[in-house]
Structure 1
């Protein structure tokens, strides 16, 4: 009887852990964050992430990773395909990236910077960040820095979202700065900004970071980590707004930040995000990429998503 009970316990534990897909199994000891999901012409899901260094200091980060999957269960690590070593104008802060396909090329947009942020004496801070753009014939690289510098130097910019609309126009969204919520319309050759457009957010402009924009059934969705914590969203009939605030996608978890992307894969919508988890290392909780299925109501609004350990292992 004791053997039978023990066997049942072991079987139950094995079954539970075998179905746990959060965090995503992207690689042993990899501290991934800021996931940007895309499905390219080959039908695979590609996930572009930033990479935390173990016990990193103040988000000092040096490279990015890209992973691909045909089933969202098994992931291939294509390695550190781009890093600050590939740049002459920045040496740190390899933060939340994004990617897009246009003109027969794959484009990688990335925030990087220089200097040091002094949290004790902010007036002594020298930290600066800008957004670069790289190009490749392949979604996994190699990528080449196309302009040898940032798209602009002032104001400070990070956490880009690069959205290419059905008409081929490309729009670059960044966190609001100095009270202004703007979108940069890119030049057709993707080497510069054609114009900046200040957006009407309907009177609600909380602190935010990491915007993510996508389109579904003719409706544009502007999603974000509101106050850098909970995920919320707006909708519009234009990529430049005006936008209508619609509310919550995912509640915050403690005081930890979040960063996400939303993408359709084989007819099902997926929310990628990161969690701060203590997985038994010598460091405090570190960031790890997770994923959940996401659903819409008949009127196009998004249903609230709950974090789970099972993630994408349980079929919808």
Structure 2
């Protein structure tokens, strides 16, 4: 069996679906007869003019985030989505077999790079001292934004510190910076080697202006001459810092989006066809689910900036960006 779809039983295979835009997004992919559950959306616009969203994949009613693969979806109008399937699976890794969590992607050297966390072991939430869980960050390559991606280094980029939730930012000068959530190692950045197959130099502890709350899932982008370091503060509330360098020093600027249901939220921010967009996930009651608990779903809202570069706080909506085609005509 093709490893890309190992463990996936797709009852309505990949297709481009014509749907009414809604929030959360309907990617038009069914697995075992149910819409795919996606989270941790990483949105990018590549040179073909399409917007691509790379996501983690929650298996139906999964237990404790044991996740096995990553998916990608694309659109040219934010209404009609094409599902491209699983771009990588932990079954293809020699160094990890679980925890296919929040990914990211980048383009450099004529190739597409997929950076991802994965791990081994078990997390014992009742008796933490019995936990054997470890996570690291890998990087895979492809000639296509939809993969398949290959883990050409056949190893994590490093083994210590324990790390996940990578964010890969390519600056205007071509330098690549990797941000991540690390165990007792947050607010560090490391530069990637030019071939994107290893890290270069030491980890750099960034100056966050004296405010360093618990965080996950960083996302870094640049607008005009200002860099933005955004994150789920306390793993739930989306907040941000700004700086004039990708390594800081950073100034804390406040909240982008408040929490919902006291649940985690991972996100990305991208400009597409003149509109700034905030992708994120929601924990929602899902009547068609086979279990009675909230499931994660990818959603999107418009994002706006004030004249001074600060971000206007975002409110979740049921409409999302349903009027996007009318805005960009």
The TM tier, using the shorter chain, reads: over 0.9
Counterpart for residue 258 of structure 2: 251
Q: In the alignment, is residue 24 of structure 1 matched against residue 31 of structure 2? A: no
Match of 1:159, SS state, is strand
Contact 1:23 1:290 survives alignment (8 Å): yes
Q: Which residue of 1 aligns with 2:290?
A: 282
Question: TM-score, length-normalised on structure 2?
Answer: 0.89
**DSSP 3-state at the match of 2:40:** strand
Q: CA deviation at 1:85?
A: 1.2
Alignment of 1:1-316 (within 5 A): 21-26=22-27, 27-28=29-30, 29-178=35-184, 180-195=186-201, 196-280=203-287, 281-283=289-291, 284-315=293-324
Cα distance between partner residues in 2 of 1:41 and 1:56: 36
Deviation sequence 1:88-137 (CA, Å, 0-9, x none): 11100000000000000000000000000000110000000000000010
- Structure with greater helix percent: 1
Structure 1 position 175, deviation (Å): 1.6
Q: Distance in 1 between matches of 2:241 and 2:182?
A: 14
Segments ≥4 residues shifted beyond 2 Å? none
Give the CA deviation at 1:197. Answer: 1.1
Question: Which string of whole-angstrom CA distances, capped at 9 and with x for unpartnered residues, describes residues 168-190 of structure 1?
Answer: 00000002542552001001011
Q: Distance in 2 between matches of 1:129 and 1:179?
A: 13
Q: CA deviation at 1:282?
A: 2.5
Structure 1: which 5+ residue stretches go unaligned?
Answer: 1-17
Instruction: Identify if the C-alpha distance between structure 1 residues 110 and 225 changes in structure 2 by more than 3 Å, giving closer, same or farther.
Output: same
Between structure 1 and structure 2, the one with the greater Rg is 1
Change (3 A) 1:19 1:141: closer
Does the CA-based 8 Å contact 1:19-1:310 persist in structure 2? no
Q: Tell me the TM-score normalised to structure 1 length.
A: 0.93
Q: CA deviation at 1:314?
A: 2.9
5+ residue gaps, structure 2: 1-18
**Compared with structure 1, are the counterparts of its residues 20 and 76 closer, same or farther at alpha carbon in structure 2 (3 Å cutoff)?**
closer
2:280 and 2:299 in contact (8 A); partners too: yes
Give the distance between the partners of 2:243 and 2:92, measured in 1 at CA: 38
The number of equivalent residue pairs is 299
Which secondary structure state, in structure 2, belongs to the residue aligned with residue 123 of structure 1? helix
CA RMSD of aligned residues (A): 1.1
Distance in structure 1 (CA, Å) of the matches to 2:128 and 2:193: 36
Tell me the SS of whatever aligns to 2:164: coil
Instruction: Give the CA deviation at 1:20.
Output: 5.7
Check whether the contact 1:219–1:236 (CA below 8 A) recurs between aligned residues: yes
SS of the residue 1:85 aligns to? helix
Change (3 A) 1:66 1:95: same
Looking at structure 2, the residues matched to 212 and 21 of structure 1 have their Cα atoms a distance apart, in angstroms, of 24
